[in-house]
A and B are shown apart, each in its own frame.
Chain A
Amino acid sequence: MVAFLCNWCSYAGADKAGMNQLPVPHEVTVIRVMCSGRVEPTLVLEAFQKGADGVMVLACHPGDCHYKEGNLRAFCRAELLQRLVPQLGIDSARFKFDYVSAAEAEKFSQVTLEFVTSIRALGSPATSLVDPHGN
């Protein structure tokens, strides 16, 4: 699983989870970007193309973006991706967008654990294709 984390909020939250020795599933590989607004939809799709079982984008809470509104762009793109991903046969549950602040170590641990658990239940993307409506 791949998680795109933004430097100022979610990446800092992930660091804080580390400082607090909270559990984070080993399957999650973090890709650091400066802002969740940097994450273009094609990167998420390429992640699936390269074999990711799940992709997360974790952004700053609305109003807290270090660059003012990047996280709002990310949210809009996430909405698009939720609808786009089933068109490629991938269950939309395999893509997750959420907010994690620099203080939310617990949330980071929880969100990643929940995500990995749900992905494990789905199995591999190849064996769990969906139709464009997500079935």
Chain B
Amino acid sequence: MRTPGKTAVILCTCSGIISEKLDWAQVQLALASHWTQPLFRIDELACGADNLTALGQWLQAEQPDRVVVAACSPREHEKTFRGLMQDAGLNPWFMQLVNVREQAAWVTDTPAHTAQKVVRLLSAALERVWLQEPLEERRMPVRTEVAIIGAGPAGMQAALTLARAGRKVTLIEREPFIGGLPVRFEELFPNLECGPCLLEPVMADLLHGTESEHMKLLTLASVTEVKGSFGNWILTVKQRPRFVTDACIGCMMCALPCPAKRPNGWNVAGELSAVDVAFMGSLPNLPFVDERTCLKLQGEPCDACLSECPVPGAFDFDDAGRELIIEAGAIILATGAVELEGLPVPFSGLENVVPAYAFERLLSMNGPTGGELLKHDGSKPQSLAIVQCAGSLDGEVAYCSGTCCKAALKYAHIAAVKEEGLTVTRLVRDMVVPGVEAAQLLRQDHAQVVRYGGMKDLGVEVNPNGRWITLPGETRVPADLIVLCRPIVPSQGTTAASLLFELDTNGAGFIAPLHTLSGSCTSPLKGVYLAGACRGPGDIREAFATGTAAAGFALSDLVEGRDLVVDPQVAVVDPEACSGCRTCVPVCPYQAISWKPEEKVAEVADFLCRGCGTCVAACPSGAITGQGFSRDMLRAELGGALS
């Protein structure tokens, strides 16, 4: 039996717009005998500032238990009238706004029908409002520290942006050096500017700038576990041993006498000593020891590095690495992308064929050839063939990676400058070179351009005169040195992050953002933001921009001293009614529902819930209440609508 009380009903004429199609007198007459005995008040423009004040005073005087407002769409003014309730000292959740303008007055054929419809809508609202609960907004304290996974340009830019705002940042990088991919490129498109000149100041700022005290850098580190949620994340980070301490001055005297060697994966050619840096100029300026190569770590006697090292205590061969617990309010994923591994037919297994990022190293002064364009045997090539879209738009990868065309133009230009008389040909399926800056690159390109239909069109012919790439018909492209612009795919770190956070990936394995257009730098998981190429292939400009964007999200979502206000219109599980079937847990798109193994019930994290109600409908026991849209409220609304 419902407790009777006072129900106020405010009827807005919307300055006559509603009342010209609807007779409020008729409606009042029809509802006069309703069990709620509504107290009507007609207003000319309920949302107007003066009117709201007057209404507020009226409500304060009348002190109704429930209020129904018949006016425009709740999509427009629900907040306004909740505010009205609050200002009048009434619970804002005891109000229901009924749409009699857009969905009745403006669309119904006759005034008589309009009145009938409005009476039904108001009856529905009157039934519903009496079942509405006095919800409370909950306030939750949150941490403002941010953990960033990946120290490429996106991650570094995010870190600097946050540090400049005074936020504490932990930057977790799996390689022994920072800078991601472009730190290995000597010149950057579209203006062929110097890569180190761009990146070194950024890295210097990060490592020893004024804000570096706010940033903690962990290299050789990766996240192994994540617990908690937005505002209170707990990450377990495993840091592999470097075997070199902070005492090291980076003189690199240790690398020269080291007898153990290993191939240099970062340079794509050449060798590294067991103790070495990935390439000259990599930062932080500290070598690292490779466990599998180092003789001493394998148990054999060797002190070659120790005897050359001028600083006592710079080596620590007992370093076992460490596990750290990082607490943060937000996490930014900046784990990036890589080239697709392997070379496609007909190029696999051939000499003097390199993928684009390997070619970058050949062009760099700190690369395996000192920046000279050389074949594997050390001789100079007479011709260079750059195969664009090598594996893209095809069987291997269906999408365009967007960056390789500009890279190809860059390679054509740089190679022609390095080697006068070099024949350069670009093999092209489709060209993608948008934008004003890139036009220059395109305009200044002097390479031969040959169009091809797909990888199956290409062949390689070798004879005593040299090597050619063959195409259908008579076309042959001289190809002493071949560069393949391979598709860009998610990195190992990006795949690991998607699994760790249980984030959806799009068809290609990149992390799916909250919204492709309006939310590409945030994931559906609140408190986890996305920067750089982990979202999809992109260039350095995008990496910097999205790094700032992700930092922006963290700055606006987590404000120092500001508690998180949790919307009360969320789902709540009744543990008494929950049967433990766990149907609800995977249904939530925001991972807001967790299973409590000890109590054997499901629980909704209210600050992650977005109030969609899918779990409410999914629960076979009806154990979940959708606050604000409960089963009973909707039933009552139906009852009123169909009476």
Task: Give A residues with C-beta under 8 Å from B.
Answer: 2, 7, 11-12, 14-15, 17-19, 21-24, 26, 29-35, 37-41, 43, 46-47, 50-52, 66-70, 73, 77, 109
Q: How many whole Å from B444's CB to the nearest CB in chain A?
A: 42
Q: Is B637 an interface residue (CB 8 A)?
A: yes
Which of A24, A37, A41 interacts with B613 by CB under 8 Å?
A37
- CB <8 Å contact, A70 and B74: no
User: Which chain B residue lies CB-closest to A20?
Assistant: B106
Known: A15-B73, A26-B109, A26-B114. A37 touches B612 (CB 8 A): yes
- CB <8 Å contact, A40 and B116: no
Known: A19-B106, A50-B639. A26 touches B75 (CB 8 A): no
Q: Which stretch from B55-63, B117-125, B599-607 is at the chain A interface?
A: B117-125
User: Which chain B residue lies CB-closest to A28?
Assistant: B117
Which of B75, B101, B614 interacts with A38 by CB under 8 Å?
B614
Number of interface residues of B (CB under 8 A): 42
A69 to B110, CA, bound (A): 38
Known: A18-B101, A30-B99. A35 touches B612 (CB 8 A): yes
Q: How many whole Å from A59's CB to the nearest CB in chain B?
A: 12
Interface members, chain B 92-133 (any A CB < 8 Å) = 99, 101-103, 105-110, 113-114, 116-117, 120-121, 124
Main SS at interface, chain A: mixed
User: Which chain B residue lies CB-closest to A47?
Assistant: B638
Q: Is B611 an interface residue (CB 8 A)?
A: yes
A34 to B611, CA, bound (A): 7
Known: A11-B75, A46-B635, A73-B587. A26 touches B108 (CB 8 A): yes
Known: A26-B109, A43-B631. A68 touches B589 (CB 8 A): yes
- CB <8 Å contact, A29 and B107: no
Set of chain A residues within 8 Å of B110, measured between Cβ atoms: 26
User: Which chain B residue lies CB-closest to A27?
Assistant: B117
When each residue 623-643 of chain B gets 1 if its CB lies under 8 Å from chain A and 0 otherwise, what string results? Answer: 000100101001101110110
| Shortest Cβ-Cβ A-B pairs, 8 listed | A18-B102, A38-B613, A37-B614, A67-B612, A26-B113, A68-B589, A40-B617, A24-B107
- CB <8 Å contact, A38 and B641: no
- CB <8 Å contact, A43 and B106: no
- CB <8 Å contact, B638 and A46: yes
User: Which chain A residue lies CB-closest to B641?
Assistant: A29
Which of B101, B107, B116 interacts with A17 by CB under 8 Å?
B107
Set of chain A residues within 8 Å of B74, measured between Cβ atoms: 32
Set of chain B residues within 8 Å of A17, measured between Cβ atoms: 102, 107
| 29 A-B pairs with C-beta separation under 8 A | A2-B638, A11-B73, A12-B75, A17-B107, A18-B107, A22-B107, A23-B108, A23-B109, A26-B109, A29-B117, A30-B99, A31-B634, A31-B637, A31-B638, A34-B613, A37-B613, A38-B616, A38-B629, A52-B638, A52-B642, A66-B612, A67-B589, A67-B610, A68-B524, A68-B589, A70-B612, A73-B587, A77-B617, A109-B107
